[in-house]
Amino acid sequence: MAHQADQQTMQLVLIRHGESEWNKLNLFTGWTDVELTDTGREEAAAGGRALKEAGFDFDVCYTSRLKRAIHTLNIVLGQMDREWLPVIKSWKLNERHYGALQGLNKADAAAEHGDEQVLIWRRSFDVCPPALEPGDSRDPHTQEQYRDVAPDQLPYTECLKDTIARAWPYFEDEIRPQMLAGKRVLIAAHGNSLRSLVMKFEHLTPEEILKVNIPTGVPLVYTFDADFNVLDKRYIGDPATIAAKIDAVANQGKARK
């Protein structure tokens, strides 16, 4: 079941990085390059064990240029004894860039701007948070890890629509051909870059994707037919734990009572 059943179907596994230091502090993270917490590392390890127990194997892996996703993938592969697999890192799989909100506490931002405005920034399809000023320490144009990227491609802020505009073409151009060639693919990335793919896979409307919450560290397995229609979608792991995690993600942006 976990293997390529035949040439007519393909599987793809997505995993969202485990809890990061800034998730724990309830800060807007975006492209800030923060570490996983101990909990985040445990989540990633549990995801790797679940994949191994379910009989999964991979040929090629993709992740972002942010270490919370890179480390999640490394931990997963360590649990699977697959650390030798090729890994391709692309900024196009980075989290959404939260602009000038990066580093702010979500609850404080909600208290200052109102729950509704913060929810619009977090969850609206095409409204960007306030942009960074060029040259800000948070500006990716000044950061070494993007030194090979054309400056006009790097954002000062993004909405989900912008994230889709980089993540989906990357999937279509780089990852889909690998799958069509029979390669088994694992993508370790972020809430919004993964939602970008999910929206396209499932043909969701902008309103529908805003309600989708992807839990951290839990492998999500899609099965497609040869035309990339979704035949099956399932999480690998304990159902009660997964349900609790989805609920926790949905409640992050509310002001503390």
**Residues with active-site annotation:** 17, 95
Positive or negative, the CA dihedral 127, 194, 95, 118 is positive
223, 88 contact by CB (below 8 A)? no
- The secondary structure of 178-221 as a DSSP string is HHHTT--EEEEE-HHHHHHHHHHHTT--HHHHTT--PPBT--EE
Cβ partners under 8 Å of residue 161, min gap 6: 125, 126, 206
- Ramachandran region of residue 26, left (φ > 0), alpha (ψ -120 to 50) or beta? left
Angstrom distance (rounded) from CA 45 to CA 209: 28
- Tokens in use for 181? 């060639």
Closest CA to 189 of 119, 58, 88: 88
Task: List strands edge to edge, sheet with 220-225.
Answer: 87-89, 60-63, 185-189, 9-16, 220-225, 230-235
